[in-house]
Structure 1
Amino acid sequence: MRDDGSEDYTWESGPNEKYGFGGGPAQVAVGPGVSVPTAELYLSTISEHRESIRNFLGMIDPETGYIE
């Protein structure tokens, strides 16, 4: 997990070393002089982690081990 609440996943048992994916909470872009209220860090639930992993693996081409 990164400091901003986003996450990195590495597929350690996959055929391609260091292959994985990342994601995180939506972020807001603002211009100079605009303040954004500080939000509490959102921590994903175990179910949300599992769903992200299932979605990633569901996109993998079994022959290459990569998203095609």
Structure 2
Amino acid sequence: MRSISIPEVSSVSDRSWIRISLTLVLAFSALSIVYVVGLEPMLYLHDAFHDIRHSTGFPCH
């Protein structure tokens, strides 16, 4: 019988980079959503998100 050793794929440093990358992607996504819903001045976006702006406390008028 032969035994095959499988190298460990995931180390602690790999997981920390994944966590940092995921945090950055989520932060960018959250800031993008806040910008589009609350701060974008385009009229069609304003009309589409009008009720969301008021329910979240963003003034729009």
TM-score when normalising by structure 1: 0.29
Q: Which structure has greater strand proportion?
A: 1
Larger radius of gyration, structure 1 or 2? 2
Higher relative contact order (CA 8 A, sep 6+): 1
